[in-house]
Structure 1
Amino acid sequence: MRRVEQITDDSGAAYAQFQRAAMLEDQVRERTRDLERALDLLNESNAQLAQANRETEAARQNLANAIETIQEGFALFDADDVLVMCNSRFGMHMADVRPHLTPGLRFGDYVGLVSRSRFLELPAGERPEDWAVGRRRRHQDRHVMFNVRMTGDCWVQVSEHRTGDGGTVILQTDVTEIIRLERSERGKMLDDQARVIRATLDHIGQGVCIFDADARLVGWNQRLGQLLAIPMARFRLGTGFDALLDRFRPDFTFGIGMTGARLGDWVEDAARGALRFELRRDAELILDVFAQGMPDGGFVMSFTDVTAERAAIEALSRANETLEARVMARTLELEDALGNAERANASRTRFVAAASHDLLQPLSAAKLFLSSIGDEGLTPVARGALDKAQNALVSVEGILAALLDISKLESGKAAVSVGAVRLDRLLAQLNDEFGAIAAAKGLAFRVVGSGAVVVSDAAYLRRILQNLIGNAIRYTERGRVLVGVRRAGPMLRIEVTDTGPGIPEEAQDDIFKEFHRLNAQASASEGLGLGLAIVERACALLGHPLGLRSVVGRGTTFMVQVPAYTGGEVLVDRPKAEAPQGAMEGRIVFLVENDADLRRAMGLLLEKWGVSVLDAPSGEAALELLEELGILPDCFLVDQDLGAGMDGISFLARVRAVHGAVPARLVTAMRGAAFDARVQAAGVAVMAKPIDARALQDFIAGLAVHE
């Protein structure tokens, strides 16, 4: 320091160097301390790393010890399919593979070593390369389990599982004892099944033989030898089918459609289906043979003795032939009887129709003659006799109408026209028709109105109710008759109730028979007992259920169920306008009628109403008269049956062809579906005989109203 102080330095460089040296010494001292601390940390880290290595090695050793203690072979491959570790039992039964199972071995190389091992027993026909390809394909799955057969009848079960990081764990388990035990148990079970099958075959009634894929005999039962008459000593395992066929060929014949050649072709065919045929040994034995191929290529045949069944079938066939002959003979007899009955019924129907037609002609004339008689100059006694005659004719008309109705219903030729029918108008007409009749007898008569609409034939429904109400009034001496409608689900029930004597239960079936009346003392003018017979047949024709409820001494209720109409709106019938008095005067009516009496009676009645009448007995005469006079009448009244020559419809067609559509009525007693169809096709309106004077008057008066 003294030397430095003694040295004179104007720039102070020495002092600056001194300061720099002092600072450098401090920095070196600080860096030394940092290095010492880093060295301490490094030593500490090395110590921790050494401890971790020791722990890792201990864990590895523990893991190796653990996997070494398990009974299965264990191997771990990483995510790159590289062997990480395995225990000493991995690759068991493969001494030639064990030396190569070291860490770093790739999975593909491992599979190749195993596939070429001399200790691996490959399935028949499979090459090592094929096995290796299949093994690598299985490795793609996350979980795999399969059995591998080794030499010495040893078996190893291989299970392979993926780890969470993509590695693979393989476990190999020796399952030799399990498979051998299972095989032993399966053999015992098969032996038991074979004994059961053998016992079953020996106790069934069919003969059975079983052949393998080469058509060699592998099984049979005792029944087979009995049916084929072959000693059981002749049956040998391995006997060919041809040898068996030769045994029964001399004694048996094949049924229709089968030959020995065809059977041989079926046996040679690899795709055997089902085959059925018969074998016959004279007439004493018939065998039904059924052959069926099996999945292994073999086939089984069963032989069933059907001799008794065939004999029974033949006997039954002979009995059936005899029975059929008897049935045929009886059928012919019944057909003859039915034909006779139908001819008799047709004759009766034609007779009734013809008789009714013939009776209606004079009846119409009689009614018209009576209607033409005026009240002038008649004494009360004569007027009374005239009224009685008129009533008698009305009764006769009702009886004839009933006979015609029952004839049509029985013959099945009644034509119905089913549609919507309003009950209010129908009930109102019945009220007007029977109100006065009931009042004259001193009975209270009431019809409860209903606005319902039903599905029926208006004419037949009216006739049904007319007969029921007429019967109720006829047999009720005092009290009342009530007509009403009740709803019964989708049906409407029309009821006619009276307070008459009632009908005993034992007689309730008889009242619907023809010509049957409970009151045998009733006069013929009150009917022939056809009303309820007509009701029953008409209800059956329309499909309307008919019911009866009666208490003796208290009265009877007849019920007719009719379906309600649900098809939409029904038009309201409007009453026709009444013709003014004297509207018929000056009208010209052309009457064509071959019956002289009826023509004269109708002429008198029309002239009484102020109508001018032109008449002719035939269509030809009427055409000549029209041409001669040159006058076209206001209307035509034409009988349908004009005798020889043209009929009424033909006449009106001739007139309309010349003069256009002229007003006309076809006056006839004819009925029937064929006639109705012809009338409808011709467009002609019909006025039925016997002629109602009021209906005739309405028709002629209506001409004036609608002019």
Structure 2
Amino acid sequence: MINPDDPYEVQIAKQAKIIEVLIKRAERGHEVGDTAYALFQSAITLQAEVWEKTKDLEKALDTLGRASNELEIAYQAQERIQRNLADAMVAMEGGFALFCEDRLQVCNSQFRELLPDVEDIIKPGLAFDDYLTAVNASRYLARDEGGGAGSGYGRRQVATAQGPSGQRFSSFVMALRNDRWFQISYRQTSSDNMAVLQTEITDLVRENRREKNRLIDQQAHLLQAAFDHMSLGVCTFSSAGELLVRNERFGALLGIPLPLLKKGTRFQRIIEHVERHEILDRRSRRAELTGWFKALLHGETIQQRFRRRDGMSLDIRVHSLPDDGFILSIMDVTAETEAAELLERRVQERTAELTEANRMLQIHAAEQAQIEGALRQAKEAAEAAHTSKTRFLAAASHDLLQPINAAKLYLSMLSETVEQSDAKEVVGRLNRSFNSIETLLQALLDISRLDSSGAEFNVTSFSLGVMLQGLAEDLAPLAAEKGIRLTILPTMRWVTSDQRYLMRCVQNLVVNAIQYTERGRVLVGCRLAGNKLRIEVWDTGMGICEEDQVRVFKEFTRGGGGKGTGMGLGLSIVERACRHLDHPVKLVSRPGHGSMFSIEVPLAPVGNFDSRENTVAEIMPDGGLDLIVMVVENDADELHAMTRKLENWGASVLAAASTAEAVSLMQEIGTPPDILLADYQLDDADTGVDTIQTLRAMAGEEIPAVIISANRQRELMQLSRELSFSVLNKPVQLVRLRALIDWQTRGRAA
């Protein structure tokens, strides 16, 4: 019933009411009770309740006493704080005031007496904004030229800012008329009150002013010292044309006496003095000297060059100043003028020399043009001869290889029919002779292609191991014939190069190693070299001396004192092809110990093996060739030789000299052939590719086809991939031809 948080006076009043109610209840109990026992029981109950209430009342009175003591102590502490605050405010050098809820609560005498005309309104309850308005309107404030409060520093209002706890603070400087200065600062306290301080800063302002004047005087002294020591004569004039500042150099350059250079001397007098005493040469003086004022009024910069009578050259410049005055500067440019005149004379002399030299150069240029014309004609003639040679070799390759191919076919048939040993030996020698002719012709054609500007390469990624395996099978008989052990180490690496040229280069290196090795072995292997693979060919031959290690790469050059069976073209082809393919070639050799040739080729990621490229085994298949083979060849001898050879293998041959004859033969037999062998270059712009496309279109199916040609251009290889036919180079190796026919027709036979 009694809230312990209520004030003690409220608690005592509530207890008194409760006691009064209990007493009245007890009295009513006596009136109502019937028996003495009931009265006695009510009295006992009432007495117990009275004792409890009495105890509560005693506790409340005790608590009230303690609270009264604490309140008295607080009152005393407040009085002491107020006295201390008053003493502190009196002892403060500046004015202090405290505003509560933007109303003045307390201030000291210094705050009140600062401005006499504002003193009467500074009383408790004054609004803070009214105080600021009254201060700004005080007649004791110094006024600037615009009529606003302030002088010197003026009344500089500082923007209200936020303190670290969110309180506002601001300040401004106030100048009084008797050259006294005060800083008015006000700050919001944590209890949202406003404390205002008036701090006199007169001594600080006056000291700053004295220091400023001292610095200005010092800077003016230094500036004047530097001004006087300038090599440039300088003089400034006011908007009225009166002299303001000048240095000694100005008077020295114009020869003007010091009395005429006093402050306030008019510019016109100085000009008149210069003209009257003819200080400047008449020929170089400008009549418009007095008209400079008009030009300066338009903001123009004037620059004139004069010469004194003693020969000194002066450069005079006049610049306008922001206050409509102007500054005149004079520079001694005698040395520059003399240097310019000397330079001009030298330029004239040099120009004359250059003119003569130019005339001589024109004569030489005309002669050079005649020489260049002759050289150009010679170059064009050489290029035409080279182009003619290239065209001739390209055209002759077909015509030269045709009879060789036919002869080899006839020799192959002859070797199968001849039984006498003497005749077989003759046939063997003929075969070797034709092989030598073929090798020499292929080397000459390769060199011609590599020397031509349009050399073509078919750079692809392929398995090097497959290529080396084919070389091992091709060259094993040659090594066995000489009793040399040929070892080609297998590899699983893939490389990026032109497969045909790279195989030809490695083949030439291995053949050379076998030819120049009398006993021992030839080793071919691969070694990693960073991101490249180095193909190395080692031999135990005679070696190459150091002076011959560069010469052996030239055509028709053989090592070992000219020994060997070749024509000296193999290493020349290697050097040309690898140079075009950017494959470095290295040679390490010691005479009497052997040699090592190497070719570096870029490595390539391992890819899928293309069975179409290397499925032809280098072993002559057994059994007859039970097929219908159509041969298209425009050379009658080669057509006859190829027909006889295929018939000896058991094939039924349809011989044609053109696409039209092939079409006629297929229409005649009423069925497409099992395989088509066609020369690429036929008569009258006809080609073997045309034959393949025509016969396939007539048959409605993809007839297996092989192009036999000496043409090794990239376009033909691209067509072979697009149209799915094989390419076999002339002269034809019969083993490869037979294996290729079996591989091409294997699917049809099945």
Alpha carbons of 1:491 and 1:377: their partners in 2 closer, same or farther (altered >3 Å)? closer
The structural deviation recorded for 1:75 is: 1.6
8 A Cα contact 2:155 2:172, kept in partner: no
Alpha carbons of 1:634 and 1:127: their partners in 2 closer, same or farther (altered >3 Å)? same
Mean CA deviation greater in 396-405 or 556-565? 556-565
Alpha carbons of 1:93 and 1:648: their partners in 2 closer, same or farther (altered >3 Å)? same
Counterpart for residue 59 of structure 1: 84
Q: Secondary structure at the match of 1:456?
A: strand
8 A Cα contact 1:421 1:457, kept in partner: no
Counterpart for residue 74 of structure 1: 95
Alpha carbons of 1:508 and 1:399: their partners in 2 closer, same or farther (altered >3 Å)? same
Alpha carbons of 1:81 and 1:162: their partners in 2 closer, same or farther (altered >3 Å)? same
* TM value normalised by structure 1: 0.68
Which of 142, 145, 160 in structure 1 is aligned with 2:168?
142
Counterpart for residue 470 of structure 1: 511
Counterpart for residue 588 of structure 2: 549
Alpha carbons of 1:138 and 1:51: their partners in 2 closer, same or farther (altered >3 Å)? closer
Percent of residue pairs bearing the same amino acid type: 33
1:536 aligns with 2:536: no
Q: Deviations over 1:648-687 (max 9, x none)?
A: 3334444334334433333222232345456666655333
Which of 216, 219, 234 in structure 2 is aligned with 1:187?
216
Counterpart for residue 385 of structure 2: 344
Q: 2:665 and 2:68 mapped to 1: Cα distance?
A: 158
Mean CA deviation greater in 385-394 or 132-141? 132-141
In the TM superposition, 1:10-409 aligns within 5 A as 55-56=80-81, 59-68=84-93, 73-84=94-105, 90=111, 94=115, 96-97=117-118, 100-101=121-122, 104-120=125-141, 137=160, 142-149=168-175, 151=177, 155-167=181-193, 168-174=195-201, 175-184=204-213, 187=216, 191=220, 241=296, 245=300, 339-409=380-450
8 A Cα contact 2:524 2:538, kept in partner: yes
Q: Secondary structure at the match of 2:472?
A: helix
8 A Cα contact 1:665 1:687, kept in partner: yes
Q: 1:126 and 1:383 mapped to 2: Cα distance?
A: 137
Q: 2:224 and 2:602 mapped to 1: Cα distance?
A: 73
The structural deviation recorded for 1:691 is: 1.8
* TM value normalised by structure 2: 0.65
Q: 1:44 and 1:653 mapped to 2: Cα distance?
A: 127
Counterpart for residue 443 of structure 1: 484
Q: 1:220 and 1:689 mapped to 2: Cα distance?
A: 104
Q: 1:380 and 1:249 mapped to 2: Cα distance?
A: 117
Contiguous gaps of at least 5 residues in structure 2: 1-61, 255-279, 307-314
In the TM superposition, 1:480-495 aligns within 5 A as 480-495=521-536
Q: Deviations over 1:401-422 (max 9, x none)?
A: 2222232233243444444322
Q: Secondary structure at the match of 1:526?
A: coil
Mean CA deviation greater in 675-684 or 473-482? 675-684
Q: Deviations over 1:85-140 (max 9, x none)?
A: 555665898554456555554321221122223444567769679x9996685699
Alpha carbons of 1:609 and 1:57: their partners in 2 closer, same or farther (altered >3 Å)? closer
Higher relative contact order structure (alpha carbons within 8 Å, sequence separation ≥ 6):
1
Q: 2:299 and 2:172 mapped to 1: Cα distance?
A: 46
Q: Secondary structure at the match of 1:373?
A: helix
Mean CA deviation greater in 543-552 or 83-92? 83-92
Q: Secondary structure at the match of 2:525?
A: strand
The structural deviation recorded for 1:371 is: 0.6
Q: 2:384 and 2:245 mapped to 1: Cα distance?
A: 74
Q: Deviations over 1:343-390 (max 9, x none)?
A: 333222212222332221221122111111135554333322322221
Q: Secondary structure at the match of 1:564?
A: strand
Alpha carbons of 1:487 and 1:649: their partners in 2 closer, same or farther (altered >3 Å)? closer
Q: Secondary structure at the match of 1:667?
A: strand
Give the partner amino acid of 1:170.
L
Give the partner amino acid of 1:177.
R
Alpha carbons of 1:56 and 1:628: their partners in 2 closer, same or farther (altered >3 Å)? closer
Give the partner amino acid of 1:558.
F
Q: Secondary structure at the match of 1:374?
A: helix
Which of 682, 692, 695 in structure 1 is aligned with 2:736?
695
In the TM superposition, 1:623-634 aligns within 5 A as 623-624=663-664, 632-634=672-674
Alpha carbons of 1:208 and 1:697: their partners in 2 closer, same or farther (altered >3 Å)? farther
Which of 471, 474, 485 in structure 2 is aligned with 1:430?
471
8 A Cα contact 1:616 1:622, kept in partner: yes
8 A Cα contact 1:97 1:113, kept in partner: yes
Counterpart for residue 40 of structure 2: none
Counterpart for residue 696 of structure 2: 656
8 A Cα contact 2:630 2:673, kept in partner: yes
Q: 1:416 and 1:611 mapped to 2: Cα distance?
A: 36
The structural deviation recorded for 1:149 is: 4.9
Q: Secondary structure at the match of 2:523?
A: strand
Q: 2:69 and 2:654 mapped to 1: Cα distance?
A: 154
8 A Cα contact 1:90 1:172, kept in partner: no
Contiguous gaps of at least 5 residues in structure 1: 1-36, 252-286
Counterpart for residue 608 of structure 1: 648
8 A Cα contact 2:105 2:124, kept in partner: yes
8 A Cα contact 2:157 2:171, kept in partner: no
